[in-house]
Amino acid sequence: MSAQERRPEEDGRDFADAMWSVPSYLIAGMAFYGGAGWLLDRWLDMSAFFPIGIVLGLVLGGYLAYRKFGR
């Protein structure tokens, strides 16, 4: 569908989809990599991998959101 054929209400729907998707990417990344870090902490009896996993998940989730919606 070309830009001339798009209706204004479809543009608002795309924006709303992006506004729900970006936080979802960030939360899912933190949950997945934070969970993996928590499991590594329990397995290796350490306490460094959980915070590293949370930060890594946030960064990777932000990168995925940028790749999908930042262009």
Each residue of 12-51: pLDDT tens digit?
A: 667 777 788 889 999 999 999 999 999 999 999 999 999 9
Is 24 inside a domain boundary?
yes
Number of Cβ within a 10 Å radius of residue 22: 18
**Does residue 51 form part of some domain?**
yes
The answer to whether residue 3 is domain-embedded is no
Is-contact 30 58, C-beta < 8 A?
yes
Domain region containing 36: 9-70
Enumerate residues 6+ apart whose C-beta is below 8 A from 59: 29
Q: Count up the domains in the chain and report the number.
A: 1
The answer to whether residue 55 sits within a structural domain is yes
pLDDT digits over 43-57, tens only? Answer: 999 999 999 999 999
The answer as to whether 4 is a domain residue is no
Q: What is the pTM of this model?
A: 0.73
37 within a domain of the structure (yes/no) = yes
| Cα–Cα distance measured from residue 33 to residue 38, given in angstroms and rounded to the nearest whole number | 8
